[in-house]
Amino acid sequence: MRVSFKTSLILLVLLLVIGSLNFSRVGADATFSSFTRPGMDFFWSAGGRVSGFMKGVFSAGRLAQENAALVQENLFLRQQLLTSEDERGELNELRDAFGLKAKEGFQLLAAEIYGKRTGEEVLLVARGSADGVRDGMVAVTAGRVLVGRVTQVLPDTSRVLMISSKDTSFDAAVQGRSTSGILRGKGSGRLLLNLVPQEQELEEGDIVMTSNVAEIFPENLLVGRVRKVAGSDVEAFWQADVSWFFDSSRIDQVFLIQ
Amino acid sequence: MITAFLVALMFAGLMMIQTSFLPRLALWGFVPNLVLISFLLFHLSPAFRNRYGMFSAVAAGLLLDFVSGRFFGMWVLILLAASFLLEEFLSRYVRTPAIS
């Protein structure tokens, strides 16, 4: 490929034009996403259907076992629900007696997912500044599982940096224990719970939630389950692989906390 | 001209598939970069390299720049350099009669 002077000149001008798009990146991204979103919506929902079918085929043998386990878990959760309803009644009575206000819930804005950036832990969602989305809003699933934080807002769409990104770390706690640590992303949907002091308890199967020590995310949002604990008695801290409850192959929608 | 348009259209289709379809089927979170792979495969053909090498680098690079959060123009520069280097390397050391 011999590059002539004319071709070099055209390339130089083209690169300058492309480089200048960085100054109006939001506008360029918004125009691009308005063209490509219908196609990406189609492919995202088609991908969901294919993924659901494939999972059904490959997990057919385990379905009976999984069903039995879910029935047991359902019964256990019903029992817990009854207990917690009783406790909530008592709590409300106490609040009334002491004149305390109940904590207010979140206001949520539903946003359809329509893509994920290749090689990056960034979700593309179909809500933008026109819908009231702001930079820094926290994204969760319908089951209050933490997904990430809005990092770029366009007029009709937004980008959510997932907590599995290597750029994300935040304080987390273990449900039912006084154990806390720093949770950080390892990329490709993987999470690592780190800096858990040796004197605190941590076991496989523990549920990891957000805590609000550093006020990075609202507290008590579900994150995942401890899969494997690493460390020894001579080390100062435990660390653990956490399997994230969020699975982008199954979920079409996130909720942004307003 | 029509071929160039079709190449750009194909890159756009592949970009949508890799951004919206494949992440839902990803094994261990891995999603192949279809635009990059097809760009490299096209460059195995000397005829394609000569006629559409730089055009495909700009088209594929622009699409990858739009779907990445990095500096705009980074992928265009990378693919232009790759196109030039592939041409230099393949035309000197590799013969692909079946593809050409």
CB contact under 8 A, B66 and A47: no
Q: Out of A33-47, A90-104, A139-153, A232-246, which region has the weakest mean confidence (pLDDT)?
A: A90-104
Question: What residues does each domain of chain A span?
Answer: 7-48, 60-98, 106-258
**Which one is predicted more confidently, A211 or A119?**
A211
Contacts of B54 in chain A (CB under 8 A): 1, 7, 11
The residue type of A64 is A
pLDDT in tens, chain B (100 residues): 788 889 899 999 999 999 999 888 877 778 888 999 999 998 888 888 788 888 899 899 989 988 887 788 889 889 988 988 888 888 888 776 655 5
Which residues in B3-32 are b (16+ Cβ under 10 Å) and which e?
A: eeeebbebbbebbbbbbbbbbbebeeeebe
Interface test with chain B among A7, A32, A43, A53, by most B beta carbons within 10 Å? A43
| Nearest chain B residue (CA) to A3 | B84
Distances (CA, A) of A172 to A88, A248, A258: 25, 21, 21
Q: What pLDDT score does A65 carry?
A: 83
In chain B, where does DSSP find H-type helix?
2-16, 34-42, 46-66, 74-93
Q: What is the pLDDT of residue B35?
A: 92
Q: Looking at residues A145-170, what average pLDDT do you find?
A: 91
Q: What is the mean pLDDT of residues A60-72?
A: 83
Which residue in B18, B62, B69 is closest to A18 by CB distance?
B62
**A40 touching B (Cβ < 8 Å):** yes
Residue-level pLDDT at A255: 92
- β-sheet bridge partners, residue A228: A241
Across the range A48-55, mean pLDDT stands at 85
Q: Which residue among A118, A151, A249 places its CB closest to the CB of B67?
A: A118
- Topology adopted by domain A106-258: Thrombin, subunit H (2.40.10)
B53 neighbourhood in chain A, CB within 8 Å: 1
Q: Nearest C-alpha of chain A: how many angstroms from B27?
A: 10
B25 touches chain A (CB under 8 A): yes
How many CB atoms neighbour CB B66 within 10 A? 21
Of A24-33, A51-60, A178-187, B22-31, give the range with the top mean pLDDT.
A178-187
Euclidean distance between CA atoms B84 and B49, whole angstroms:
9
pLDDT top residue among A56 and B13: B13
Q: Which residue ranges make up each domain of chain B?
A: 2-93
DSSP type of residue A219: T
- How far apart CA B100 and CA B98 sit, in angstroms, is 6
Q: Report residue A120's pLDDT band, with 50, 70 and 90 as the boundaries.
A: confident
- Across all residues in chain A, what is the average pLDDT? 85
A77-119, pLDDT tens digit by residue?
888 888 888 888 888 888 888 877 766 677 889 999 998 888 7
